[in-house]
């Protein structure tokens, strides 16, 4: 049975197809899931999969099991990850050489291979089953959960897991206003940044009078430190399509556009494949499942501009013009893509829609907080032990996410701050660790939800440097149209750079605050209006670090290049010559077996000596 | 017609009127560098900011691009607006001090110090020339290139454009190079010199006899330093 | 050249007039950069003001107006990479190649680019060489990695009978 040659004409056809697939898959209930997410791929999971495939072929095990190259499983730090079903045995950091052992021992005999098990970074406890691992146990994976059960580009897998059920339900049992009412009731808020209630957006578009309306899925994930949209599109593209179809039905749009950034080639490929599959089956296109609803989806790739994620700029970019934001009003429901009413929703927002329609708003609400329902995917990265994607109910505290799921700070260092909301957000200090992560709390703390990047920082991260980092990012990514944003960011950067060089003054810090507030007030689009947040938030919580740079000319975290220097502790130095050989600036002098010294004027402060020294003799002052 | 409140007045304006046009019509002066009646509004200079809404929900918008809407409450000279405008003018002075237009505007708004490092840009990227070329001269010879801080106005590939007819429209409308300030050559970027002029007619009459702003005589350099400075 | 340009343009013409961005994406895909004469041709053929094409070409980061090197090195400077020390890594690579991000070495072998986030933040800091992701890079590791590539390049070159200056310098 090749589903690509079928065409489903009624909802019953889909049910029948699902039963057929399930029946077929029943007999090979056991399968091996090799994570094919970006993280695992770069640690070599593709090779691992190849070796698995070869081994299974060679030993005629193909009938006993299926090999699935899945989307991102979330625990990217421990890649490549392999899970053996139906038991759910979780192996991490699997190398090509481990494949034979896994099949022979675990798969055929059920024995556990100790060294491949996940070990808790804090207490050293080992876990066998995926569901027991604290990283996964505390999560609520309604969006990412299917990732490890299916191949991203297999529509059979998706349908057998209950895919496209919600489209059937919406199209056959609900009217567009009912769908919108359900979304409103679920209090679904945009997951892309601002957190605008999606139901209201949909309602406005539904109310707009026009023959042609558009529904755009914003997959121009530009926030540095966030990659959940990438994982959703790469790992489960059909769920996004499903959300988009329902959105189109509810708002009266007949055309959907997915705007993906060009940095995600696999996402583009998988989405295109998924669209072709859905079209072939009659789940997209003319008269979907015989319900009389027409909807087509196309993919538009971005050309690399962070500001294009702003809704009005995104429309301009899809139209192929300069991706510059414009003044709102007119809003997009009045004048959107090609002048027609348009709704833009983020990838994750749309991926939530099938769940809400299938399981109802009550179940969705039960997951979140009072004001906003559901889960949120965070990309937990930075100086934390378990980096990766985590999906948790809205309202979970930062402490639970960072310490329980994330396993605490790397190398036993002290937690300093967590950055949320990308370049529009801010850094939250220890005192806010117990505050829940929802839209309101993060906003009132001077940060924001943003798209869900959560960058953990330890005592070796300089907060002034972080402010400098974001300003540099924004200086580059601003479109440059408004003077307040273009020149304002550049001048803020000028002041912050002076501070990191030890050339700042208290007056300049005051000027920085004044300027930050004006930039926030007077810029045209969201990028400019939030550009000052990283500065204001770091000043708000870490003013002492600014003062250390200004008054004492000292960088407490040891990051700012002009305020640190490297030196060698003569008592510890064994004169092994390792650092001398590695030093790219030829700044280290000394006879063999004699203590070495670093010549300050030649030192490029790259830190290679510190990294290579085996005796901890190199110190940063 | 659209009904809205402007500085406490209930006013009526035509559809498609912008807030800047409405304010102008009612005699309220709002400064702007990138606005020209004959060209499409652009919203880049941010000097024409006005405050809309009230209470916690009020915000600043550029009046040249914001359309008048029913029930809108607009205030053109609130503390928040003035503060932002003054700081922006200070930034303009720090970036492009040789523009006479900017110097005049800064003086008029009481900007007397510059706390930022001095740059000497020739262009403030207001885009008047780009729109002049495209909209009035049908030229499309120049435009914006790059983005962010690297944004510039130039012809394609930074070569002489085939479309350019050397009409000079771009130079005519430029607020930065059309009237270059001869003013401060020293360290201090603020001269306030233009403020110190007074119409020569005051020598003969007790009141100024014309209402030209700026005074033509002063413009020609025949005006004299005033006896009273402001 | 003339002939080739013309046929390319024929291929680029789409029934319902594709946008400037997608046109440029196709050109970039084909030539690996945006050659000036092709852009001029497109402007003429499709009656789009050249300045509009030029503006778009310089606005988006995916486009390049200069030819790219044989190997493309991309350093990521996302927030996650930054807190884990990507700046030091980028500086080292920049120093070894002798070029700033956005440029290509004189011998046309390496192009260096800096991207604001590649979306593989769990592996920070990240360096991508010719599409291959290398995670958890440190300045020392970057040098090792780079040596590996240059030695490979050198072997290739020596077979072809010429020597690569960068490789020679690094091999000492």
CATH of the domain at B41: 3.10.20.740
Q: Are the Cβ atoms of B84 and A522 closer than 8 angstroms? A: yes
> For residue C160, what pLDDT band results from cuts at 50, 70 and 90?
low
Chains that touch A (3 or more CB pairs under 8 A): B, C
Q: Examine the domain organization and report whether B199 and B227 are in the same domain.
A: yes
Q: Examine the domain organization and report whether B38 and B66 are in the same domain.
A: yes
List of chain A residues whose C-beta atoms are within 8 Å of the C-beta of residue C82: 224, 466, 469
Q: Are the Cβ atoms of C19 and A320 closer than 8 angstroms? A: yes
Q: How far apart are CA A311 and CA A193, in angstroms?
A: 11
Burial A48-74 (b: 16+ CB within 10 A, else e): bbebbbebbeeeebeeebbbbbbbbbb
Q: Are the Cβ atoms of C51 and B161 closer than 8 angstroms? A: yes
- Residue B39 to residues A109, A326, A559, B209, Cα–Cα distance (Å): 79, 16, 49, 33
Using CA atoms of B201, B203, B206, B207 in order, give the dihedral in degrees to the nearest 10.
30
B103 class by beta-carbon count within 10 Å (0-12 exposed, 13-18 middle, 19+ buried): buried
Q: Examine the domain organization and report whether A181 and A234 are in the same domain.
A: yes
Kindly report the CATH number assigned to the domain that includes residue A100.
3.40.30.10
Tokens 């399509």 sit at which residue? A241
Contact between A242 and A164 (Cβ < 8 Å):
yes
Can you read off the two tokens belonging to residue B57?
């929900």
Interface membership of B152 toward A (CB under 8 Å): no
According to the 3-state scheme, what is the secondary structure of A472-486? HHHHHHCCCCCHHHH
Q: Examine the domain organization and report whether A205 and A307 are in the same domain.
A: yes
Q: Are the Cβ atoms of B148 and A477 closer than 8 angstroms? A: yes
**Residue B101 half-sphere exposure, CB side, CA atoms within 13 Å?**
17
* pLDDT, position C12: 43
pLDDT above 50: residue C162:
no
Count the Cβ atoms, other than its own, within 10 Å of residue A582: 18
pLDDT above 90: residue A179:
yes
Domain that holds residue B67: 2-77
Q: How far apart are CA A69 and CA A467, in angstroms?
A: 40
Count the Cβ atoms, other than its own, within 10 Å of residue A141: 18
* pLDDT, position A492: 97
pLDDT above 90: residue A212:
yes
List of chain C residues whose C-beta atoms are within 8 Å of the C-beta of residue B145: 54-55, 58-59
pLDDT above 70: residue B228:
no
> For residue C124, what pLDDT band results from cuts at 50, 70 and 90?
confident
Q: In what order do the strands lie in the sheet with A66-70?
A: A66-70, A31-35, A82-85, A89-91
- Residue A162 to residues A75, A167, A173, A246, A365, Cα–Cα distance (Å): 25, 11, 17, 16, 21
Q: Determine which of A266-275, A301-310, B169-178 has the lowest per-residue pLDDT on average.
A: B169-178
Cβ neighbours of residue C142 closer than 8 Å, sequence gap 6 or more:
C89, C92, C93, C127
Q: How far apart are CA A288 and CA A280, in angstroms?
A: 11
A107: left (phi over 0), alpha (psi -120 to 50) or beta: alpha
Can you read off the two tokens belonging to residue A27?
């007999």
* pLDDT, position C15: 36
Q: Tell me the nearest-neighbour CA distance from A264 into chain B, angstroms.
A: 22
Tokens 């030695």 sit at which residue? C151
Distance of CA B191 to the CA centre of its chain: 18
Angle among Cα C117, C123, C125 to the nearest 5 degrees reads: 60
Q: Examine the domain organization and report whether B197 and B141 are in the same domain.
A: no
Q: Are the Cβ atoms of C53 and B156 closer than 8 angstroms? A: yes
Which residue intervals of A138-188 are DSSP H helices? 155-160, 165-173, 176-185
Q: Which of the listed residues A333, A366, A399 is the one where a domain comes to its end?
A: A366
* pLDDT, position B18: 95
Kindly report the CATH number assigned to the domain that includes residue A262.
3.40.50.11540
According to the 3-state scheme, what is the secondary structure of C35-55? CHHHHHHHHHHHCCCHHHHHH
Q: Examine the domain organization and report whether A398 and A320 are in the same domain.
A: no
Q: Examine the domain organization and report whether B168 and B214 are in the same domain.
A: no
- pLDDT single digits (tens) C37-54: 999 999 998 889 999 999
Domain that holds residue A518: 463-551
- Report yes or no on B223 lying in a domain: yes
- pLDDT single digits (tens) B114-169: 999 998 888 899 999 999 999 998 889 999 999 999 999 999 998 888 888 888 78
Count the Cβ atoms, other than its own, within 10 Å of residue A226: 32
Q: Examine the domain organization and report whether A473 and A547 are in the same domain.
A: yes
List of chain B residues whose C-beta atoms are within 8 Å of the C-beta of residue C55: 143-145
> For residue B33, what pLDDT band results from cuts at 50, 70 and 90?
very high
> For residue B212, what pLDDT band results from cuts at 50, 70 and 90?
low
Percent of chain A with pLDDT over 70: 99
Q: How far apart are CA A167 and CA A188, in angstroms?
A: 18
Q: How far apart are CA A483 and CA A227, in angstroms?
A: 31
Can you read off the two tokens belonging to residue A513?
């605050």
Q: How far apart are CA A376 and CA A143, in angstroms?
A: 9
According to the 3-state scheme, what is the secondary structure of chain B? CEEEEECCEEEEECCCCEHHHHHHHCCCCCCCCCCCCCCCCCCCCCCCEEEECCHHHCEEEECCCCECCCCCEEECCCHHHHHHHHHHHHHHHHHCCCEHHHHHHHHHCCCCCCCCCCCCCCCCCCCHHHHHHHHHCCCCCCEEECCHHHCEEECHHHCCCCCCCCCCHHHHHCCCCCCECCCCCCCCCCCCHHHHEECHHHHCCCCCCCCCCCCHHHHHCCCEECCCCC
* pLDDT, position A602: 87
Can you read off the two tokens belonging to residue A78?
């421990």
Q: What ipTM is given for this predicted complex? A: 0.89
Q: Examine the domain organization and report whether A333 and A407 are in the same domain.
A: no
Q: Examine the domain organization and report whether A272 and A168 are in the same domain.
A: yes
Signed CA dihedral, A488, A492, A494, A495: sign only: positive
- Report yes or no on A587 lying in a domain: yes
The secondary structure of A54-70 as a DSSP string is: HHHHHTT-TTT-EEEEE
Which residue intervals of A8-44 are DSSP H helices? 11-26, 38-42
- Report yes or no on A559 lying in a domain: no
Kindly report the CATH number assigned to the domain that includes residue B155.
3.30.70.20
Which residue intervals of A395-438 are DSSP H helices? 398-399
- Which residues partner with B50 through β-bridges? B61
**Taking Cα atoms as reference points, which of A444, A202, A380, A187 lies closest to residue C80?**
A380
> For residue A251, what pLDDT band results from cuts at 50, 70 and 90?
very high
Tally of domains within chain B: 3
Can you read off the two tokens belonging to residue C51?
């300045």
Q: Is the peptide bond before A120 cis (omega within 30 degrees of 0)?
A: no
For the domain made up of C71-171, give the CATH fold. Answer: Glutaredoxin (3.40.30)
Q: Is the peptide bond before A86 cis (omega within 30 degrees of 0)?
A: yes
Interface membership of C48 toward A (CB under 8 Å): no
Q: Which of the listed residues A342, A366, A390 is the one where a domain comes to its end?
A: A366
Q: Are the Cβ atoms of C49 and B163 closer than 8 angstroms? A: yes
Q: Are the Cβ atoms of C140 and A608 closer than 8 angstroms? A: yes
Interface membership of C170 toward A (CB under 8 Å): no
**Taking Cα atoms as reference points, which of A567, A565, A608 lies closest to residue A585?**
A608
Q: Tell me the nearest-neighbour CA distance from B194 into chain A, angstroms.
A: 25
The SS3 of residue A156 is helix
The SS3 of residue A384 is strand
> For residue C16, what pLDDT band results from cuts at 50, 70 and 90?
very low
Q: Which of the listed residues A405, A439, A458 is the one where a domain comes to its end?
A: A458
pLDDT above 80: residue C170:
no
> For residue B199, what pLDDT band results from cuts at 50, 70 and 90?
low
Tally of domains within chain A: 5
pLDDT above 70: residue A348:
yes
Residues of chain C with CATH 3.40.30.10: 71-171
- pLDDT single digits (tens) A57-115: 888 887 778 889 999 888 888 889 999 988 889 999 999 999 999 988 988 888 899 99
**Taking Cα atoms as reference points, which of A473, A506, A475 lies closest to residue A489?**
A475
- Report yes or no on B9 lying in a domain: yes
Distance of CA B135 to the CA centre of its chain: 20
* pLDDT, position B221: 52
**Taking Cα atoms as reference points, which of A153, A351, A179, A150 lies closest to residue A253?**
A179
List of chain A residues whose C-beta atoms are within 8 Å of the C-beta of residue B116: 491, 494, 511
Pick A225's closest partner by Cβ from C63, C88, C121: C121
Contact between A616 and A572 (Cβ < 8 Å):
yes
Interface membership of C59 toward B (CB under 8 Å): yes
Q: How many residues does chain C have?
A: 172
Q: Determine which of A115-124, A277-286, C8-17 has the lowest per-residue pLDDT on average.
A: C8-17
Q: Examine the domain organization and report whether A28 and A112 are in the same domain.
A: yes
* pLDDT, position B196: 52
Cβ neighbours of residue A521 closer than 8 Å, sequence gap 6 or more:
A529, B49, B59, B60, B80, B84
Interface membership of C171 toward A (CB under 8 Å): no
Kindly report the CATH number assigned to the domain that includes residue A489.
1.20.1440.230
Signed CA dihedral, A123, A127, A132, A138: sign only: positive
Q: Examine the domain organization and report whether B64 and B9 are in the same domain.
A: yes
Q: How far apart are CA A218 and CA C128, in angstroms?
A: 25
Name the packing angle between helices A347-367 and A228-235 (round to 10°): 100
Q: Examine the domain organization and report whether A267 and A283 are in the same domain.
A: yes
* pLDDT, position A14: 92
Q: Examine the domain organization and report whether B73 and B9 are in the same domain.
A: yes
Q: Examine the domain organization and report whether A527 and A612 are in the same domain.
A: no
* pLDDT, position C171: 41
Q: Examine the domain organization and report whether B55 and B11 are in the same domain.
A: yes
Element (H, E) at A419: strand A415-420
* pLDDT, position C155: 66
Using CA atoms of A489, A495, A500, A504 in order, give the dihedral in degrees to the nearest 10.
-170
Cβ neighbours of residue B224 closer than 8 Å, sequence gap 6 or more:
B197, B198, B200
* pLDDT, position C42: 92
Q: Examine the domain organization and report whether A338 and A231 are in the same domain.
A: yes
Give chain A's mean pLDDT: 91
**Residue A468 half-sphere exposure, CB side, CA atoms within 13 Å?**
20
- pLDDT single digits (tens) A326-344: 998 899 999 999 999 999 9
What is the distance in angstroms between the CA of the first residue and the CA of the last residue of chain B? 42
Q: How far apart are CA A199 and CA A189, in angstroms?
A: 8
* pLDDT, position A517: 96
**Taking Cα atoms as reference points, which of A332, A260, A610 lies closest to residue A460?**
A610
List of chain C residues whose C-beta atoms are within 8 Å of the C-beta of residue A302: 60, 62
* pLDDT, position B98: 83
Q: Examine the domain organization and report whether A351 and A288 are in the same domain.
A: yes
Residue in A with minimal Cα distance to C80 = A382
Of A119-123, A336-340, A600-604, C155-159, give the range with the top mean pLDDT.
Answer: A336-340
């Amino acid at each position: 049975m090749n589903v690509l040659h079928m065409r489903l004409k009624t909802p019953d056809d889909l049910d029948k197809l699902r039963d057929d697939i399930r029946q077929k898959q029943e007999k090979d209930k056991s399968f091996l899931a090799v994570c094919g997410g970006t993280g695992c791929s770069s640690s070599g999971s593709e090779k691992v999969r190849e070796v698995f495939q070869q081994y299974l072929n060679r030993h005629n095990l193909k009938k006993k099991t299926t090999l699935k190259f899945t989307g991102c499983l979330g625990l990217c730090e421990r890649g490549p990850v392999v899970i053996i079903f139906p038991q759910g045995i979780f192996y991490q950091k699997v190398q090509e050489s481990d494949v034979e052992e896994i099949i022979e021992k675990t798969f055929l005999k059920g024995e556990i291979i100790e060294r491949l098990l996940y070990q808790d970074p804090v207490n050293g406890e080992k876990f066998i089953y995926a569901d027991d691992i604290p990283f996964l146990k505390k999560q609520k994976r309604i969006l990412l959960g299917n990732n490890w059960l299916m191949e991203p580009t297999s529509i059979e897998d998706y349908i057998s897991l209950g895919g496209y059920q919600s489209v059937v339900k919406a199209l056959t049992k609900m009217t567009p206003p009912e769908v919108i009412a359900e979304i409103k009731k679920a209090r679904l808020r945009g997951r892309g940044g601002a957190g605008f209630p999606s139901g209201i957006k949909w309602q406005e578009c539904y109310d707009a009078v026009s023959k042609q309306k558009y529904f755009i899925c914003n997959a121009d994930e530009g926030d540095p430190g966030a990659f959940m949209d990438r994982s959703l599109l790469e790992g489960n593209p059909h769920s996004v399509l499903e959300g988009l179809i329902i959105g189109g039905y509810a708002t009266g749009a007949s055309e959907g556009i997915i705007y993906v950034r060009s940095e995600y080639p696999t996402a583009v490929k998988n989405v295109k494949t998924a669209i072709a599959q859905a079209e072939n089956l009659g789940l997209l296109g003319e008269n979907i499942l015989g319900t009389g609803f027409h909807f087509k989806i196309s993919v538009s790739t971005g050309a690399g501009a962070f500001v294009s994620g702003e809704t009005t700029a995104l429309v301009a970019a899809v139209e192929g013009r300069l991706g510059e934001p414009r003044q709102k009003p007119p809003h997009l429901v009045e004048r959107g893509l090609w002048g027609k009413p348009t709704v833009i929703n983020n990838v994750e927002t749309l991926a939530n829609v099938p769940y809400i329609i299938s399981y109802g708003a009550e179940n969705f609400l039960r997951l979140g907080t009072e004001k906003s329902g559901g889960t949120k995917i965070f990309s937990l990265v930075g100086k934390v032990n378990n980096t990766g994607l985590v999906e948790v109910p809205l309202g979970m505290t930062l402490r639970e996410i960072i310490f329980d799921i994330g396993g605490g700070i790397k190398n036993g260092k002290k937690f300093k701050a967590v950055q949320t909301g990308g370049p529009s957000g801010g850094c939250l200090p220890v005192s806010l660790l117990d505050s829940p992560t929802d839209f309101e709390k993060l906003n009132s703390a001077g940060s924001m939800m943003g798209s869900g990047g959560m960058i953990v920082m330890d005592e070796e991260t300089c907060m002034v440097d972080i402010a400098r980092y974001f300003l540099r990012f924004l200086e580059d990514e601003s479109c440059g149209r408004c003077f307040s944003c273009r020149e304002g960011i550049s001048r803020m950067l000028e002041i912050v750079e002076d501070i990191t060089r030890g050339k700042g003054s208290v007056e300049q810090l005051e000027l920085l605050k004044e300027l930050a507030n004006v930039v926030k007030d007077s810029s045209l689009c969201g990028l400019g209006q939030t550009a000052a947040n990283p500065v204001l938030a770091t000043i708000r919580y870490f003013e002492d670090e600014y003062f250390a740079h200004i008054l004492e000319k000292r960088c407490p975290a040891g990051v700012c290049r002009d305020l640190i220097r490297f030196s060698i502790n003569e008592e510890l130095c064994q004169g092994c010559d390792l650092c001398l050989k590695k030093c790219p600036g030829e700044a280290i002098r000394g006879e063999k077996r004699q203590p070495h010294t670093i010549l300050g004027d030649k030192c490029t402060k790259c830190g290679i000596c510190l990294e290579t020294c085996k005796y901890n003799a190199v110190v940063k002052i | 017609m659209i009904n809205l409140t402007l500085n406490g007045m209930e006013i009526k304006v035509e559809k498609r009127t912008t807030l800047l046009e409405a304010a102008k019509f009612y005699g309220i002066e709002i400064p702007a560098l990138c606005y020209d009646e004959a060209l499409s509004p652009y919203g880049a200079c941010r000097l024409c900011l006005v405050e809309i809404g009230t209470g916690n929900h009020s915000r600043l918008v550029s009046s040249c691009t914001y359309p008048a809407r029913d029930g809108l409450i607009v205030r053109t000279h609130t503390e928040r607006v003035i503060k932002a405008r003054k700081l922006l003018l200070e930034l303009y002075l720090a970036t492009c001090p040789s523009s006479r237009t900017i110097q005049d505007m800064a003086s008029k708004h009481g900007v007397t110090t510059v706390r930022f490092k001095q740059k000497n840009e020739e262009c403030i990227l207001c885009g008047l020339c780009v729109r002049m070329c495209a909209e009035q001269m049908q030229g499309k010879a120049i435009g914006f290139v790059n983005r962010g801080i690297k944004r510039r106005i130039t012809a394609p590939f930074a070569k002489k454009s085939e479309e350019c007819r050397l009409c000079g429209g771009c130079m005519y409308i430029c607020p930065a190079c059309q009237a270059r300030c001869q003013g401060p050559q020293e360290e201090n970027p603020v001269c306030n010199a233009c403020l110190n002029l007074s119409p020569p007619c005051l020598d003969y009459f007790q009141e100024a006899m014309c209402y030209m702003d700026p005074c033509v005589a002063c413009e020609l350099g025949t005006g004299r330093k005033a006896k009273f400075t402001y | 050249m003339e002939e080739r340009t013309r046929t390319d343009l024929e291929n680029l013409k789409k029934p319902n007039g594709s946008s400037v961005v997608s046109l440029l994406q196709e050109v970039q895909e084909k030539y690996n950069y945006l050659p000036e004469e092709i852009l001029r041709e497109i402007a003429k053929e499709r009656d789009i003001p050249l300045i509009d094409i030029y503006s778009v070409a310089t606005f988006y980061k995916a486009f390049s107006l200069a030819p790219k090197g044989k190997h493309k090195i991309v350093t990521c400077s996302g927030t996650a990479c930054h807190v884990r020390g990507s700046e030091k890594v980028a500086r080292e690579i920049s120093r070894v190649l002798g070029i700033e991000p956005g440029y290509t070495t004189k011998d046309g072998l390496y192009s260096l680019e800096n991207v604001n986030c590649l979306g593989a933040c769990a592996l920070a800091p990240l360096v991508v060489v010719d599409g291959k992701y290398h995670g958890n890079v440190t300045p020392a590791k970057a040098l090792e990695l780079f040596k590996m590539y240059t030695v490979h390049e050198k072997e290739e070159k020596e077979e072809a009978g010429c020597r690569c200056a960068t490789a020679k310098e690094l091999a000492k």
